[in-house]
């Protein structure tokens, strides 16, 4: 009535074979002894070198002697899954901002994962596809987990770049006359502004300030505006200073002179008139008569014209009056002597 004595195995723990949801497990078959000296294995639930699924499987051997006394040998084969899922992740996504916006709606195909166990669930999703992303880099993360709590992260970046230049609101060209007596003008304007889809724009250059002095001519004024992504726009306009101020001529008084002796004219000399101008530059463009010239009896108008670089001009006019104070010279005959004659009267 004595049962056999079985020499059983300890529980066997083994990880799944690579890429499989099971493991082939091998062991040395247990044995048994009996007082009768004869014992047979009458039952074997699983063979060594068999495939075992993930989890715990109880293996049973039964040994029996010739008197039908028997004993069971029981141990567990424990197959554990340490293999992480494999995630199939998108590459980084680069997208420009939507028109006029500081963000972009970005869409992608949701990543998936596979696992040796055949069962994998997405347990975390940091951002959904078709969401709005701000300018810059945003990390998107998905986590996948299998039934054995092995997990893997799928991480990629959504990069939103801003290629949109600011929009500048520029003044029109400004035309201004010179300040009185000056070769320049102080010109004032309202500083231009700019807007940007990002909401942030800075002025990085200002070539000339409002309320500055500008010389005669055309000066280009430039402002540059830049957003945080270094997109920039220029605001350019012209300040045109024109000179409408005529030169000031320093003219001579009329000149009165008598004829040169024995002549019907006179050589008249004067110091040439001059002119000044707010521009500092003035040229004589016309001289009707030169000093030290001969002038006939009577009144002759002398004209000088002075012109500045802006073609503003002024005339200097005076008269040269030549008068004749010289008496005529008479060429008279000598006295005439007539002999005396007899005069009588005859009567008849």
In this predicted structure, what is the pLDDT of residue 151? 97
Q: What is the Cα 105 distance to its own chain's centre?
A: 23
Beta-strand relationship, 70-80 and 12-15: parallel
3-state DSSP helix/strand/coil % of the chain, to nearest 5: 0, 55, 45
Q: Which two tokens stand for residue 251?
A: 């003219």
Residue 178 in contact with residue 209, Cβ under 8 Å?
no
In this predicted structure, what is the pLDDT of residue 248? 97
Beta-strand relationship, 232-242 and 255-258: unpaired
Q: Which domains does the chain have, with CATH numbers?
A: 5-80 (2.60.40), 86-161 (2.60.40), 167-242 (2.60.40), 248-323 (2.60.40)
Q: Which two tokens stand for residue 130?
A: 């078709």
How deeply is 42 buried, as exposed, middle or buried, from its count of CB atoms within 10 A (0-12, 13-18, 19+)? exposed
Q: Which two tokens stand for residue 135?
A: 């300018």
Q: Quickly state the pLDDT bin for 348 (edges 50, 70, 90).
A: low
CA distances from 288 to 235, 299, 302 (A): 51, 14, 6
Mean model confidence pLDDT for the chain: 96
CA distance 276 to 316: 12
CA distance 39 to 31: 9
In this predicted structure, what is the pLDDT of residue 203? 96
Q: What is the Cα 325 distance to its own chain's centre?
A: 85
Integer Rg of the chain from CA = 61
For the cut 90, the answer to whether the pLDDT of residue 247 exceeds it is yes
Q: Quickly state the pLDDT bin for 343 (edges 50, 70, 90).
A: low
Q: Quickly state the pLDDT bin for 340 (edges 50, 70, 90).
A: confident
DSSP 129: T
In this predicted structure, what is the pLDDT of residue 341? 66
In this predicted structure, what is the pLDDT of residue 66? 95
For the cut 70, the answer to whether the pLDDT of residue 235 exceeds it is yes
In this predicted structure, what is the pLDDT of residue 336? 92
In this predicted structure, what is the pLDDT of residue 346? 60
In this predicted structure, what is the pLDDT of residue 61? 97
For the cut 60, the answer to whether the pLDDT of residue 344 exceeds it is no
In this predicted structure, what is the pLDDT of residue 317? 97
Q: Determine the average pLDDT of the residues in 320-343.
A: 88
In this predicted structure, what is the pLDDT of residue 321? 98
Predicted TM-score of the model (pTM): 0.71
Q: Determine the average pLDDT of the residues in 209-236.
A: 97
Q: Determine the average pLDDT of the residues in 259-269.
A: 96
pLDDT in tens, 51-60: 999 999 999 9
Residue 148 in contact with residue 81, Cβ under 8 Å?
yes
Name the phi and psi angles at 126, rounded to 5.
Answer: -75, -35
**Which residues have a Cβ under 8 Å from the Cβ of 74 and sit 6 or more positions away?**
8, 58, 59, 60, 61
pLDDT in tens, 99-139: 999 999 999 999 999 999 999 999 999 999 999 999 999 99
In this predicted structure, what is the pLDDT of residue 339? 84
């Amino acid at each position: 009535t004595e049962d056999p004595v079985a020499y059983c195995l300890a529980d066997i723990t083994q990880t799944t074979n690579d890429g499989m949801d099971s493991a082939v497990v091998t062991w040395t078959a247990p044995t048994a002894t009996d007082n009768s000296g004869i014992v047979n294995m009458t039952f074997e639930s699983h063979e060594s070198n068999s495939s075992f699924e993930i989890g715990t499987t109880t293996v049973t051997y039964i040994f029996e002697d010739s008197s039908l006394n028997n004993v069971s040998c029981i141990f567990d084969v424990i197959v554990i899954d340490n293999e992480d899922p494999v995630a199939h992740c998108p590459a980084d996504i680069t997208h420009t901002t939507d028109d006029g916006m500081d963000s972009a709606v970005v869409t992608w195909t949701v990543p998936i994962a596979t696992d040796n166990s055949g069962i994998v669930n997405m347990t975390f999703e940091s951002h959904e596809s078709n969401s709005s992303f701000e300018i810059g880099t945003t990390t998107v993360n998905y986590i996948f987990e299998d039934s054995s709590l092995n997990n893997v992260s799928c991480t990629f970046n959504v990069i939103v770049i801003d290629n949109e230049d600011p929009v500048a609101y520029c003044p029109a060209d400004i035309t201004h006359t010179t300040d009185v007596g000056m070769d320049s003008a102080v010109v004032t304007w309202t500083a231009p502004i700019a807007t940007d889809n990002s909401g942030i724009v800075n002025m990085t250059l200002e070539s000339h300030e409002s309320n500055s002095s500008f010389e005669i001519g055309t000066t280009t004024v430039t402002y540059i505006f830049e957003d945080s992504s270094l997109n920039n726009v220029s605001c350019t306009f012209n300040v045109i200073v024109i000179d409408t101020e005529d030169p000031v001529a320093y003219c001579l008084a009329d000149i009165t002179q008598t004829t040169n002796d024995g002549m019907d004219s006179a050589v008249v000399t004067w110091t040439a008139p001059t002119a000044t101008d707010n521009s500092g530059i003035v040229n004589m463009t016309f001289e009707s008569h030169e000093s030290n010239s001969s002038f006939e009896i009577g009144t002759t108008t002398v004209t000088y014209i002075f012109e500045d670089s802006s073609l503003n001009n002024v005339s200097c006019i005076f008269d040269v009056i030549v008068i004749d104070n010289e008496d005529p010279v008479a060429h008279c005959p000598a006295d005439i002597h007539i002999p005396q004659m007899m005069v009588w009267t005859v009567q008849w």
